[in-house]
Amino acid sequence: MMETTLVILKPSSIQRALAGKILSRFEQKGLRIAGLKMMMLDENLLREHYAHLVDRPFFPSLILSMTATPVIVAAISGVEAVQTVRQMTGATNSRKALPGTIRGDFSMSGQENVIHASDSPENAAIELARFFCPEELYDYSLISTPSLYAPDELTR
């Protein structure tokens, strides 16, 4: 099924000048950039986005890390894009993330792990609405689509 997922290029990737390389990975894979912008996150938004972590001891440090610079938020589309991007992202602790994943290849930390990616289609929908207005998400199709998918992969 065609899906769109949310990726955040965290301040660690901005500081380390990895934004282009990381976006390139999604492009190379055959995923489509459906939305892209730079923004500054604030504590309120992060309390929503990381609601499952607000009571954890590392939460204040996570807020400082995520507000250190602007971030780049990206809406990434493709067939089964949520799981595909999650697999490309790798484990939360970058030292445990497999080589070949973005975290595995570009980072050494559990906190400074360079990107966020939505973990389910339900959360992807919620997170896309949290970071993008509807008019910032573009529904064009890539001219390469017939070289990326078999026809039946696009209809089921």
Instruction: State how far the Cα of 1 lies from the Cα of 110, in Å rounded to an integer.
Output: 31
For position 110 contacting ligand TYD by CB under 6 A, the verdict is yes
Sheet harboring 32-39: ordered strands across? 32-39, 71-79, 2-9, 115-117
Structure tokens at 102: 């973005």
- Whether 116 is a known active-site residue: answer yes
The CB-of-40 to ligand TYD minimum distance in angstroms stands at 18
For position 43 contacting ligand TYD by CB under 6 A, the verdict is no
> Per-residue string for binding with ligand TYD, 10-39, x by CB under 6 A?
------------------------------
Residue from 53, 98, 108, 129 in contact with ligand TYD (CB under 6 A): 53
Instruction: State how far the Cα of 74 lies from the Cα of 78, in Å rounded to an integer.
Output: 13
CA torsion, ordered 109, 67, 76, 143, to nearest 10 deg: -110
Catalytic hit among 10, 116, 117, 124: 116
Task: For residue 93, count CB atoms less than 10 angstroms from its CB and return exposed for 0-12, middle for 13-18, buried for 19 or more.
Answer: middle
For position 92 contacting ligand TYD by CB under 6 A, the verdict is yes
Count of positions on this chain that bind ligand TYD (CB under 6 A)? 10
Residue from 1, 37, 38, 58 in contact with ligand TYD (CB under 6 A): 58
| Chain positions contacting ligand TYD, by CB under 6 A | 50, 53, 58, 62, 92, 110-111, 113, 116, 119
Which residues are the active-site residues?
116
